[in-house]
Amino acid sequence: MKPYIYITRKLPEETIVELTEQFEVKMWEHEDIPAPREVLLAEAKKASGMITMLSDKIDEELLSAGENLKVVANLAVGFDNINLKSATERGIVVSNTPDVLTETTADLTFALLMAAARRIVEAADYIKAGKWEGWSPYLLAGHDVYGKTIGIVGMGKIGKAVARRANGFGMDILYHNRSRKPEAEKELGAVYSSFEDLVSKADYVVSLAPLTDETRNLFTADVFAKMKKSAIFINVGRGPVVDEQALYEALKSGEIAAAGLDVFEKEPISTEHPLLELSNVTAIPHIGSASTETRTKMIKLCCTNVKAVLTGDSPKTIVNKEVIQ
């Protein structure tokens, strides 16, 4: 009997051929609607492998239900949706998709920064609404990017890729990270800074930090109060690193100038969320790695990892390496 694999979203058939040629594969029927909890639990009981999304809660209950489960391949770099301790205790391999999405996510980060700085979405809505009746010197005037200071919180691979783009705009680069990155300092001219100094000096504060106990609610009212009034806050990392009510108050009061947000505390964000009422917020639906080429690479990497585990090989990108040691 072939091992059974469950995929929690509908993916293009051509991207999962590596699995369908060798295993029994079933996908959830929708691309944009999450599989209900009861479906995930039922499928986990039967599956030898699962390909999951960041929005899927792979917790103790689900993992304990997976009596035959050997591998969970998360279609993301992050894996805070998975109870890693529980998976490891059960000998279940957890894999993710680093590297393949670095440049695409950096592109999106810088695009969001520029859109927020130059009020691109606001300007597009303005013209579509038929409001453009003439020219004035400060019509939809935004903020320069060239020559300004960017502060990157989380100098991992994506952070470095964003810094390379900032170099092209002649920006001064500050960064804060759990550990210093001498190679980034040498190659990119990035300057290590304390978190407090970074948020007070940067014109653009870019959060690319992972979600940990230390980073949850890292950006509070006190932090926003330390930023320049002209500062623009960008978050393409994790939503829960931000106190969203504090961000709303800072934006509404003019304590900071604008924000560009790709991630939120709860996703999908409610259309009633107060942040969406503000014209100085550019909000997009967690599309950091959403290019056709990159998403295809991510899916294929997940498939390769699942196949490797189920055929006795080592996966390319394993999170809990101790499982196979």
Q: 36-73, pLDDT tens digit by residue? A: 999 999 999 999 999 999 999 999 999 999 999 999 99
Same domain, 219 and 135: yes
24-27: long-range pairs with CB below 8 Å, 24+? none
- Same-domain status, 137 and 247: yes
Q: Are residues 224 and 124 in the same domain?
A: yes
Cα-based distances in Å from 115 to 3, 104, 121, 141, 291: 47, 16, 7, 12, 18
Q: Are residues 225 and 308 in the same domain?
A: no
Give the side-chain half-sphere CA count within 13 A for 128: 6
Cis peptide before 268 (omega within 30 of 0): yes
Q: Are residues 127 and 19 in the same domain?
A: no
Spatial strand order of the sheet with 258-261 comes to 191-192, 172-176, 149-153, 204-207, 232-235, 258-261, 281-283
Residues known to be catalytic = 238, 267, 286
Asked if 315 contacts 80 with a C-beta cutoff of 8 angstroms, the reply is no
- Distances from the Cα of 209 to the Cα of 160, 235, 265, angstroms: 12, 9, 14
Q: 254 pLDDT exceeds 90? A: yes
Does 267 lie in the same domain as 157?
yes
pLDDT digits (tens, 9 = 90+) for 96-149: 999 999 999 999 999 999 999 999 999 999 999 999 999 999 999 999 999 999
Over range 1-9, report the average pLDDT: 97
Confidence tier at 156 by pLDDT (50, 70, 90): very high
What is the C-alpha separation between 167 and 123, in angstroms, rounded?
A: 27
CA atoms within 13 A on the CB side of 185: 10
Give the CATH number for residue 315: 3.40.50.720
Residue 301 is predicted with a pLDDT of: 99
- Percent of the chain's residues with pLDDT above 90: 99
pTM: 0.93
| Tally of domains in the chain | 2
271-282 tens-digit pLDDT: 999 999 999 999
Above 90 in pLDDT, residue 325? no
Q: What's the pLDDT score for residue 191?
A: 99
Confidence category of residue 24, pLDDT binned at 50, 70, 90: very high
* DSSP class of 135: -
Query: What is the residue range of 35's domain?
Result: 4-100+292-323
Kindly state whether residues 207 and 94 are assigned to the same domain.
Answer: no
**pLDDT above 70 covers what percent of the chain?**
100
Task: Please provide the average confidence, as pLDDT, over all residues in the chain.
Answer: 98
Give the Cα separation of 117 and 93 in Å (integer): 42
Whether 163 and 49 map to the same domain: the answer is no
Domain check: are 109 and 253 in the same one? Answer: yes
Please, are residues 240 and 266 in contact by the beta-carbon 8 Å criterion?
no
Round to whole Å and give the CA distance between 26 and 8: 9
For the chain, the straight-line distance linking the first and the last C-alpha, in angstroms and rounded, comes to 28
Question: Are residues 199 and 273 both part of a single domain?
Answer: yes
Contact criterion met (CB below 8 Å) for 97 and 74:
yes
302 & 315 share domain: yes
pLDDT digits (tens, 9 = 90+) for 178-229: 999 999 999 999 999 999 999 999 999 999 999 999 999 999 999 999 999 9
H/E run at residue 173: strand 172-176
Per-residue pLDDT, 142: 98
12 and 94 belong to one structural domain: yes
Residue 255 burial (CB count, 10 A): 18
Edge-first strand order for the sheet with 49-52 is 24-27, 4-7, 49-52, 71-74, 93-95
